[in-house]
Amino acid sequence: MTRPILLTTGTLLCAALLWAAVPVKAAAAVSGLPDFTELVEQAGPAVVNIQVTQFGDRARNRNRNRGDQQAPYDQEDIPEFFRRFFDTPGNPGNPGIGQPDRRGLGSGFIIEDDGYIITNHHVVEDADQIVVRLDDRREFEAELIGSDPQSDVALLKIDAKGLPALAIGDSESLKPGEWVVAIGSPFNFEQSVTAGIVSAKGRSTGAQQYVPFIQTDVAINRGNSGGPLLNLEGEVVGINSWILSSSGGYIGLSFSIPIETAMGAVKQLRETGTVSRGLMGVMIGPVTREIAEAMSLDRSAGALVNDVTPGGSAERAGIQPGDVILEFDGQTIETSGDLPPLVGAHPPGAEVEVLVSREGRKKRFEVTLDALNGDSGGAETGGSGPARQSNALGLAVEAMTAEQRRALGNPDGGVIVSDVESDAAFRAGIRPGDVVLMINSEPVGDLGDFEDIVSGLEPDKAVALRVLRDGVTSFFAYTPSAED
């Protein structure tokens, strides 16, 4: 029995010695993990450090006008938990006389050897001076060619030749689980390298609705903003832009701008200094399971049209509130977040085909896109008057007076909800003061229409209400219950 034990131990010892002799790169290959050394050696010199300065008086005036003198300027207008990874060290934000210059740090990368550099819009936003430091420690003051807040992309130019430039890759071919690498200057530690995998694609954060973000688990922190996200070929597939964090530090969720989206913006910035996008003129919402049932859809997919801009491209084409957009220019719309990036990728004047579902039937429309300008405002709701008896929907409603209708912007028809008696309706989001404009696909012109439509509803079947609230229309869906 002794001999086999000695043989096994010797074998293990021999194997351990052989493993120790394997080079690190070969060991990585044996273990199935990639070796990033050559990638970093090739791509690293094209990654730059960006230092921005906002001069004291201007920073002070900007803070005073903003009414938020303590908030660092890289944090404004960011949804809760979303943080840009742009470092602004040593700035207490004191609005008093003699406030020092505000300085910030970010990253960027060279895309052409004659000095064109990409970074984030929020890195250079309102900067009075932009200094680019190369990998070889040379520094240049950069010219801002143009910047686009909608895509969070900015294009810089420095006076230099023969610079190393990164190759542009293909983010559309990326797959979840694929290895990616980030290089940047977190906390001003230049040429820092982190790696991870693609977690998901086509993410919508709400901040930039025209960007289908790449989600990764690559470690990203402040100062990484504007740096490249690279595939294993060393090609740029994205620009690091956001993290999801409650503390401002990396917790495993990072978001990058797809390189196709960025280069589309760069092309326009280089040609005109600005970026123009197509506008469809719809306000959209998600298709929930209840809405899908109420709209006679076989699954909860697409983008629900809550409202259309009067005179806009969608209305001119014949698209109506309550339509569910299933395809845009041949691209399937799985979620409402899929639509804005597709629309924004088309220029104003483009003609596209849109497939919608209306009352369970599919219809196609030819839409000529308008130019993106801005959002329209709304009016407050409210009302009083004799409430009507509750009904199968569990809602008490009343007619609108002429004064109420004027205050609401003179909507076409509608009745005001005076009380929500149904638990299902309340859980769905219906509130007193809401104006019911449509039930399923039928418009509500007045109280008579409302009662006729409700009386014809099938029991225990989901219903979708188009509701006007604070100048914005949305759909709410629920299944009325006899127990409410």
Question: Domain check: are 332 and 356 in the same one?
Answer: yes
Q: Cα–Cα–Cα angle for 111, 115, 118, nearest 5°?
A: 45
Residue 152 annotated as catalytic: yes
| Alpha-helix residue ranges (DSSP H) falling in 331-385 | 339-344
Least confident residue range of 38-42, 284-288, 403-407, 446-450? 403-407
Q: Could you give the number of structural domains in the chain?
A: 4
Give residue 235's pLDDT: 96
CATH classification at residue 206: 2.40.10.10
| Active-site choice (225, 357, 422, 474) | 225
Alpha-carbon dihedral sign for residues 168, 106, 201, 196 = positive
- Residue 107 marked ligand-binding: no
Q: Where among 355, 371, 387 does a domain terminate?
A: 371
pTM: 0.66
HEC letters along 41-97: HHHHHHEEEEEEEECHHHHHHHHHHHCCCCCCHHHCCCCCCEEECCECCCCCCCCCC
CATH number for the domain that contains residue 404: 2.30.42.10
Q: Please, are residues 36 and 193 in contact by the beta-carbon 8 Å criterion?
A: yes
Q: Give the per-residue pLDDT at 246.
A: 67
**Average pLDDT for residues 22-43, to the nearest whole number?**
70
For residue 357, say whether it is annotated as part of any ligand binding site.
Answer: no
61 annotated to a ligand binding site: no
Q: Establish whether 57 is a catalytic residue.
A: no
Burial class (CB in 10 A: 0-12, 13-18, 19+), 425: buried
Domain boundary among 135, 157, 179: 157
Active site residue 121: no
Tell me if 31 is assigned to a ligand binding site. no
Check the annotation: does 162 bind a ligand.
no
Residue 29, pLDDT score? 47
Which of the following is catalytic: 74, 87, 148, 152? 152
User: Does the pLDDT value for residue 386 go beyond 50?
Assistant: no
Out of 121, 122, 323, 434, pick the active-site residue: 122
Strand partners, 308: 282
* Nearest partner of 435 among 421, 450, 454, judged by Cα: 450
Confirm whether 66 is domain-assigned.
yes
Which of the listed residues 305, 338, 371 is the one where a domain comes to its end?
371
Give the residue numbers spanning the domain of 105: 41-79+87-157
Q: pLDDT tens digits for 96-149?
A: 445 567 788 899 999 999 999 999 999 999 899 999 999 999 999 999 999 999
Half-sphere exposure of 426 (CA within 13 A, CB side): 10
The region of weakest confidence among 19-28, 45-54, 380-389 is 380-389
pLDDT of 5 strictly over 50: no
